Amino acid sequence: FECIRTNSKRIQARKLFDYNIVLIGFMGTGKSTISDFLKNVFAMDVVEMDQIIAQRQGMSISDIFETYGEQYFRDLETNLLIEMQSRSNVVISCGGGTPMRECNVVEMKKNGRVVLLTAKPETILDRVKDNHDRPLIENNKTVPFIADLMEKRRAKYEAAADIIIETDGKNELEICEELVHRLRTMDEEK
Ligand code: S3P
């Protein structure tokens, strides 16, 4: 009870989810935006994987790719997911490629519900066009390229997801309401 009095927000969040929410999806589907929203509304902690990896390495994602290569970056992602299993009630905002490794999906599910956010290639292009820290699309910011890469990844994204939320034409509040409602429905069914 002392805890409730001194830190009511945290307790409120604990009541809502006793596991981690793992947000996955292609670049620009809104993982970071939705994480921020959940953080503000439910006082949940957010782990922004790209940001933590960049901070710990002391360099941007683009520089990590350039200096050490993609596999090195992918290993950092796997290790971070394993590290997060000891936490709960955290929103984990993954990089767009994180669920491409099957072992990562296994790690995500150990203490998390996996939420896939989707968007049309046109929406994605619009959201990512002014950002320059996405090495996989930096020189290919076109609808056909994005659509093609998305299609190549689709099966793995869908296989990993516990729930799928389309984000086109919805605002942050609508997306979060849908997310919370569907997770709670899932919890009640268990
Ligand atoms: C990647 C997505 C990026 C980042 C890296 C690789 C991917 O994260 O992890 O550039 O493979 O799709 P965002 O989805 O946050 O842009």
Distance (Å, whole) CA 28 – CA 26: 6
Identify the pLDDT of residue 110: 95
Judged by DSSP in three states, 71 sits in: helix
pLDDT confidence of residue 3: 41
Query: Tell me, what's the pLDDT at 8?
Result: 54
Residue nearest to atom 10 of ligand 1 (CA): 134
Runs of H (alpha helix) within the chain? 2-6, 8-16, 31-42, 49-57, 61-68, 70-84, 102-110, 121-128, 143-160, 172-189
For the chain, which domains are there? 2-181 (3.40.50.300)
Structure confidence at residue 42 (pLDDT)? 86
| pLDDT tens per residue across span 16-69 | 788 999 999 999 999 999 999 999 988 899 999 999 999 999 999 999 999 999
Q: Is 133 helix (H, G, I), strand (E, B) or coil?
A: coil
Instruction: Find the length of the chain.
Output: 190
| Contact indicator for 95, 49 with CB cutoff of 8 Å | yes
Reading the block at residue 174, the tokens are 């609508």
Render the burial of 18-29: b for 16+ CB within 10 Å, e for the rest. Answer: ebbbbbbbbbbb
CB distance 99 to ligand 1 below 6 Å: no
Give the Å distance between the CA of 95 and the centre of ligand 1.
4
CB distance 97 to ligand 1 below 6 Å: yes
Cross-strand partners of 34 = none
Does the reported pTM lie above 0.85? Answer: yes
Cβ-defined contacts of 146-152 (< 8 Å, 24+)? 146/26, 146/121, 147/121, 149/26, 150/26, 150/121, 150/124
Per-residue pLDDT tens digits for 70-109 = 999 999 999 999 999 999 889 999 999 999 999 999 999 9
Verify whether ligand 1 is closer than 6 Å to residue 50 (CB atom): yes
